[in-house]
Amino acid sequence: MSGGKAITCPACGGKIEVRAAGFTVNLACQNCGSLLDVSLPEVVLIRRYKNAKDRFALEIGKRGTVFGQEWEVVGALRRKDQITIWQEFLLFNPYLGYRWLLVADGEWQFGTPLADRPQGDRNRVFWRGENFSRLGRDQPTSTTAVAGEFYWRVKAGDTANATLFQSGETILSREVSDGEENWTQLVPVDETEIENAFGLNRRSLPRRKAAQGLMQFKAAPGMEQDDLGRMFLLAMAISLFAAIAMALLAGPSTKTSSMIQVPVGGQIAPVKIGTITVRRPWQFVTIDADANRFENRWVDLEYNLVDRSSEQSIDAFGLVEHYAGTSSDGAWTEGSHHGDTMFGHVPRGTYDVYVSGSAHGWPVDPAVTDAWGSTETINLTIEASTGAMSWGMWWTLVFALFAWPVSILWWRFRDK
C-alpha cells in the first residue's frame, strides 16, 4: 500500500500523516483532537480542541489483512443509540477503496458500502437476489467521538436515523442523515482475526450502554408482538382477579339515609342519620352526600360513626361545592353537587351515623334580603352504606398494570 503525506496541525503544530491523500476531506488531529479540513492545499482548522482523550480498540495507522485483502485503519468513530455504544473503524485500500469494521457488545462486523441500493418498503427489502426483513425499529444514533481521517465531513454531535434489515448472518444497514441515505452490507468477522490483523486494545472496547426507562423492556427481534400481548393479557387477568377479590371481601351491605338542611352562613349540630352494621371483621363504609342545585356555595361536613358497644367514634370529613361564572374565555363551572367519603378498615360492630356541617357562600356569605329574615339553606341527602369497594385503589392498580405495556406500545410504534 502506498504511503500518505504529512501535514502540520494549525491548532497544536503537531505532525499528522494523511494516509488516504486525495480522498480525505475531514481529519481529526491525533495529537490534540482538533477537526481539520484537508480538502484544499492549505489545511483549514474547523474546530479546535486541546486534548485528544478518546481511545479506540484499534490504533489508527495499523495495517492488517481481513478476508484476504490488506487494509489500513485511517479513521475511528464512537457512536451510540438508545441501547448500545459501539465503535466504527474506517479502513482504506488505495485499490479497493473504503470499508468498515464495527464492534458492539463483543461482536465484530465487516462493512461494505453499497453502490446499488436495495429495493422495498420499510419492513422488507430485496437486494442481489435476497430478501431482508426489518430488524427492530428505527433508531436515532449520534456520533460522540472522532479520530483520524474521513472522506466526508464528520464531527462529534452528528446524528442519523438507522434501520437494520437481516437475512441469515448478513445485515443491511440504512442510515439517513440530512436527507442523504447510505446503505452498508455487514457480515460477521471473528474477533481473533481482527486481533491477529491489527492488534486489539481490549481496554478500549465499547461497553454495552445500560438500558434505562422503557428500553429495559425492549423485546428481542421478532418477539415484540408476542411479549407485548402477554403483558396486556397478564394486566387484564390481574385487574379482573383484583375486582373479584375486592367484591368478595367487601361483604354484605347495610344502608341508612336521611335528609338534612344546612343554612348558608351557619352550621348545624350533629344529626343522627341512622344505624349500620359491619358484619365482617373489617369493612369499608361509604357516606354519599347529594345536594340540591346551588351555585358559588360550599358545604363542610363532618361524619361520625359511633360504636354502640364501646361508644367510640370514628370520624371523617366531606365536602360538597360548586362554583360558576364567566371570564374572557366564556362561562365556566367547577366542583360538583355530590360528594362521597370512605371510611377504611372499620371493625365489626353496630354504628350510629351522625353528620354535622356548615355552609358558606363565595366570595362572601349572602346577606338576609327578605322581610321575614329567612336564611338560605342547602338540602342534602346523606346515605351511609357498608360493603363498599375502593374503586380508587382498583383504578390505581389498573393504571400501574397497564402503564408499562401501553408506554412500550407507544415507544415501539411512535415512528410508524
Grid cell, residue 87, equals: 465503535
Cis amide bond preceding 113, omega within 30 = no
Residues 185 and 259 in one domain: no
Q: Is 395 part of a structural domain of the chain? A: no
Which helix (H) or strand (E) segment is 236 a member of?
helix 224-250
Say whether both 342 and 197 belong to one domain: no
Q: How many CA atoms lie within 13 A of 245 on its CB side?
A: 8
Q: Whole-angstrom Cα distance, residue 98 to residue 415?
A: 32
Decide which of 367 and 72 is more confident: 72
Cβ atoms of 141 and 159 closer than 8 Å: yes
What is the grid cell recorded at 80?
A: 451510540
Band of the pLDDT at 208, cuts 50, 70, 90?
low
Among the ranges given (96-110, 217-231, 265-279, 360-374), the one the predictor scored with the smallest mean pLDDT = 217-231
Most confident by average pLDDT, 7-11, 311-315, 386-390? 311-315
Q: Is the pLDDT of residue 271 over 60?
A: yes
Q: What is the pLDDT of residues 114-131, one digit of tens each?
A: 999 999 998 999 999 999
- Residue 373 CA, distance from chain mean position: 62
CATH number at residue 260: 2.60.120
Kindly state whether residues 138 and 265 are assigned to the same domain.
Answer: no
Same domain, 261 and 192: no
Tell me how crowded residue 109 is: count the other CB atoms within 10 A of its CB: 21
Domain for residue 228, yes or no?
no
Q: Which distant-in-sequence residues (6+ apart) come within 8 Å of 347 by Cβ? A: 278, 281, 282
Q: Are residues 41 and 149 in the same domain?
A: yes
Chain segment 23-74, per-residue pLDDT in tens: 666 676 666 666 666 665 554 444 554 445 568 999 988 999 999 999 999 8
Q: Are 283 and 299 in contact (CB under 8 A)?
A: no
pLDDT single digits (tens) 286-345: 999 999 989 999 999 999 999 999 999 999 999 999 999 998 889 999 999 999 999 988
Give the pLDDT confidence of 138-187 residue by residue, as tens digits.
Answer: 889 999 988 888 888 888 889 999 999 999 999 999 999 988 999 999 99
Residues 45, 130, single domain; the answer is: yes
Does residue 221 or residue 65 have the better pLDDT? Answer: 65
Q: Is residue 33 part of a domain?
A: yes
Q: pLDDT at position 231, please? A: 86
Q: Give the C-alpha separation, 348 to 367, whole Å.
A: 46
pLDDT over 90 (residue 245): no
Confidence of residue 368 (pLDDT cuts 50, 70, 90): low
220 against 27, higher pLDDT: 27
- Domain co-membership, 273 together with 375: yes
Q: What is the pLDDT of residue 224?
A: 42
pLDDT at 229: 79
- Whether 382 has a pLDDT exceeding 80, the answer reads yes
Buried b or exposed e, range 4-24, using 16+ CB within 10 angstroms: beebebebbeeebbbbbbebb
Residues sharing a CB contact under 8 Å with residue 92, sequence separation 6 or more, in sequence order: 19, 20, 23, 71, 72, 74, 98
2 near 35, Cβ under 8 Å? no
> How far is the C-alpha of 67 from the C-alpha of 178, rounded, in Å?
33
pLDDT confidence band for 20 (50 / 70 / 90): low
Phi, then psi, of 250 in degrees rounded to 5? -60, -35
State the pLDDT at residue 347.
Answer: 92
Q: 204 and 260 share a domain? A: no
Q: What is the DSSP letter of 372?
A: T
Dihedrals φ, ψ of 370, to 5°? -95, 165
Residue 17 contacts residue 73 (beta carbons within 8 Å)? no
Of 233, 244, 241, the C-alpha closest to 402 is 233
Q: What is the pLDDT of residue 378?
A: 94
**Is omega for the bond preceding 363 within 30 degrees of 0, making it cis?**
yes
Q: Which letter does DSSP use for residue 81 in this model?
A: -
| Nearest-angstrom CA–CA distance, 82 and 174 | 17
| DSSP secondary structure string for all residues of 278-339 | EEEEEEEEEEEEEE---SSEEEEEEEEEEETTT--EEEEEEEEEEEEEEETTEEEEEEESEE
Residue-level pLDDT at 247: 76
In a domain, 180, yes or no: yes
- The count of domains in the chain is 2
Query: Which stretch of 11-20, 201-210, 327-336 has the lowest confidence by average pLDDT?
Result: 11-20
In this structure, are 31 and 120 located in the same domain? yes
For 405, the 3-state DSSP assignment is helix
- The SS3 of residue 396 is helix
Whether 206 is covered by a domain: the verdict is: yes
- Mean per-residue pLDDT for 370-386? 84
Please, what sign has the CA dihedral across residues 325, 327, 332, 336? negative
Instruction: Looking at the structure, tell me whether residues 92 and 187 fall in a common domain.
Output: yes
26/85 same-domain check: yes
State residue 385 phi and psi, 5-degree precision.
-145, 150
pTM, whole model, 2 decimals? 0.49
Q: What is the pLDDT of residue 3?
A: 53
Look-up of cell digits 357498608: 386
Rounded average pLDDT over 395-402: 90
Mean pLDDT of 230-255: 85
Q: Which three cell numbers stand for residue 159?
A: 446524528
The C-alpha cell at 230 is: 402477554
d(CA 212, CA 232): 21
Alpha-carbon torsion (114, 115, 118, 121), positive or negative: positive
pLDDT, residue 304, reads 96
Whether residue 272 sits in one domain with residue 157 = no
CA pair distance 384, 257, nearest whole angstrom: 6
Domain range enclosing 72: 5-210
The pLDDT assigned to 281 comes to: 87
Return the pLDDT at 49: 47
